[in-house]
Amino acid sequence: MYTRECEGCHGAQGNGDGAGPALDGNTNLNNKDHVLKRIIEGSPEKGMDPFGKTLGDRDIAAVATFVRNAWNNAYGVVVDADVKKMRDAFPAKK
């Protein structure tokens, strides 16, 4: 999933060699809600597309878990229920 949806902007090694910021060692990934909100809603001002309407809860949880724990990161697992909770907080983004 990361390779298909994220690698082009964030780099194969999370080094941010595309349009997106580096994910490797990015301390913002410690905030699970921040990560989920970015994936679901995107960040138009920073050029990140929203994936909330194209990816299901399981896929979003998988991508979030991957980026939070790949490379030099160790921020823990994200589960489907975490994604649902975030979607419920922003119902217009479902």
CATH number at residue 78: 1.10.760.10
Tokens of 12: 């194969």
Which parts of the chain register pLDDT below 70? 91-94
Q: Which domain holds residue 42?
A: 2-93
CA distances from 70 to 44, 59, 73 (A): 25, 16, 5
Residue 67, pLDDT score: 98
Model confidence, pTM? 0.91
**Number of structural domains the chain divides into:** 1
Residue 92, pLDDT score: 58
Residue 46, pLDDT score: 84
Position 35: which residue type? V
**Do 2 and 67 meet the contact criterion of CB atoms below 8 Å apart?**
yes
Alpha-carbon 47 to chain mean position: 14
Residue 89, pLDDT score: 87
CA 44 – CA 52 distance, rounded (Å): 13
Residue 13, pLDDT score: 95
Tokens of 73: 């990161």
